[in-house]
């Protein structure tokens, strides 16, 4: 074993011994776009609020979720943000037109992810890592559902049944 390998091994063992971790930090990178500073409609945006509302309703009728509608408006139509131009968010516009999803999009994505991991764990019962991942996802589901119940977005009797206990 070479000297550098031995030093690296000793360093990682020392880090674990003193309580430090060899895992990557949770810091995010700085390479991302910045939102516009002003709260008013940009002068270069060529769409009127009525046109943007019509586009949002058209895209929602095609079955596109609210987050993707915002991305499509930004990338294909050159609309930076909907709220400064129209005065309402995309979900508020969808609620007015009766097209809002029954379950909020972020909660629905977590439910789908939990279902996928549950199906995986039915086939691979000894997969401890994904069992832990399912526990984390289900805790996120519970926290998010409590928040949406407080806000009145979900009905108070809405409940998610945990599947970790049934798999264990």
Residue-wise pLDDT tens digits, 23-70: 555 666 777 777 777 778 888 888 999 999 999 999 999 999 999 999
CA-to-CA dists, residue 43 to 37, 74, 80, 132, angstroms: 14, 15, 11, 50
User: Which residues have CB under 8 Å from 56's CB, separation 6+?
Assistant: 69, 73, 82, 90, 93, 94
How many Å apart are CA 49 and CA 86, to the nearest integer? 5
Segments of the chain assigned E as strands: none
Q: What is the pTM of this model?
A: 0.72
């Amino acid at each position: 074993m070479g000297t550098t390998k031995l030093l690296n091994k000793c360093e990682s063992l020392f880090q674990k011994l003193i309580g430090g971790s060899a895992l990557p930090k949770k810091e995010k990178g700085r390479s991302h776009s910045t939102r516009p500073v002003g709260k008013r409609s940009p002068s270069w945006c060529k769409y009127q609020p009525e046109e943007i509302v019509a586009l949002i309703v058209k895209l929602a009728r095609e079955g596109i979720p609210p987050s993707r509608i915002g991305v499509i408006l930004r990338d294909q139509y050159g609309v930076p943000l909907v709220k400064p131009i129209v005065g309402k968010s995309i979900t508020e516009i969808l609620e007015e037109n009766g097209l809002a999803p029954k379950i909020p999009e972020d909660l629905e994505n977590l439910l789908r992810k939990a279902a996928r991991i549950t199906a995986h764990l039915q086939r691979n019962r000894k997969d401890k890592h994904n069992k832990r991942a399912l526990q984390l996802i289900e805790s996120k589901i519970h926290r998010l559902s409590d928040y949406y119940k407080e806000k009145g977005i979900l009905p108070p009797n809405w409940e998610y049944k945990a599947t970790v206990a049934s798999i264990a």
